[in-house]
Structure 1
């Protein structure tokens, strides 16, 4: 007797295909139950006819997947000339000459190569056009109507898409490099902006007033440049030469009351001025900073 080692998903597919062969369900229902496209149902059905349940066992079983190389990084990133990847403004003098995306790659020692020929840019655009059109239609045919079903559908779609359109590389060696000991993924992917500390040890970012805790480290930083780290999950850090600084937050988009002014005696005049100006100020946040939608317990409201 032959014993087959099958995953839960593969066993479920056997039951679905048996119901389909017995005409207890239709092809579209089978596709929904298995989370695949209709044409893949026919492919699985042919395989099941030819080899039985064993034909449904993944050929990748026992092989290393592409995700088995955790946090690998490429040598270079090939892109078009979009402003996400490079500073396109002629004569730009502010900042460090890099976009936020470019800075993140620079910190991880990854180069950016921008395409300069139509053939290279066209290949990307054709792929985007195919996905924007084909993916939507395939999901509609499979009856996908929720985010959860869409996420479950994507793995099968990617497998089928790559089988039809993927090209084998000239060299199949994985050239991704492991992260170096000093690579910090969380810091590299944070949105960073430089600010000047005032004499009162305050600085502003996205209409929020940050107040550095006065101590032997922060007092000498008056009129010095520090960096705001705005992380994707909504939390913040203020650093100077890589060292985190303690701070308090006063959100200028919240109403100021007398209690707040009394509590922050060191900033009494500043807070009183803010209280007066709030009546006329624009209560929307900057469009430049990253959106906080879906970040959980962030201090910022979505503008």
Structure 2
């Protein structure tokens, strides 16, 4: 079973220079739900001056369609953000920190130890509130400031997250430097360290055109969660030259052609990517929104979902 987590409303939009209106964001979420996405990261509960695109996440949560089949998640970096997430009614909080001291200081103004301490408190409070809590380890495959990141460092963070009560662990290639062999190896080592009962996933960027190969490698190594953003939008505001996530529709096409069903309507997802491109006003990097699915309409299998 593979869970496709749609991060377009958060990671996809957070680095856009043009602030999208609240109604456009709400329409994006509605379209994603209609396309069959069942895990959606709707935004982040961070200071609006740090990430202006996410300033209205609280109000967005008041306008999105609610369904028992859809899990909405929000990014939090501290307990104040967690309090906002609870009031907004998301079912899952995603805590993230960078694996290196330099990146984490620039991104969160905290040491990695301070971030882990904060995660431990948020995980405890999430359990008490009946919410899921996931940890994303950013720059797990390479840092723009410190270069290569030792695998044992990532494994150590994952073990500590598991001990703190994480419901899942996501390894993020924040700047898109990973290659498939590296992804396979790190996924295996993390899964061996935390046990098979704890879901492990990946958050991949296609900066150097290895994102989809890395997704395949992660799945082969046992990943059960893959983050993606509709249209291939995204990029970290605090990472130099960071570009988009892997495109959700491109990922889903690969999964469906491999015989892995997701419950996602690929045609509607393509339409959503094309719609979002018009709203943003620039060409998005996703490929399927340009090429279309296969087999094409009229050949008997126009929908891969």
Q: Same fold (TM over 0.5)?
A: no
Scaled by the length of structure 1, the TM-score of the pair is: 0.20
Question: Highest Rg: 1 or 2?
Answer: 1
Looking at both structures, which has the greater relative contact order when contacts are Cα pairs under 8 Å and sequence separation is at least 6? 2
Scaled by the length of structure 2, the TM-score of the pair is: 0.20
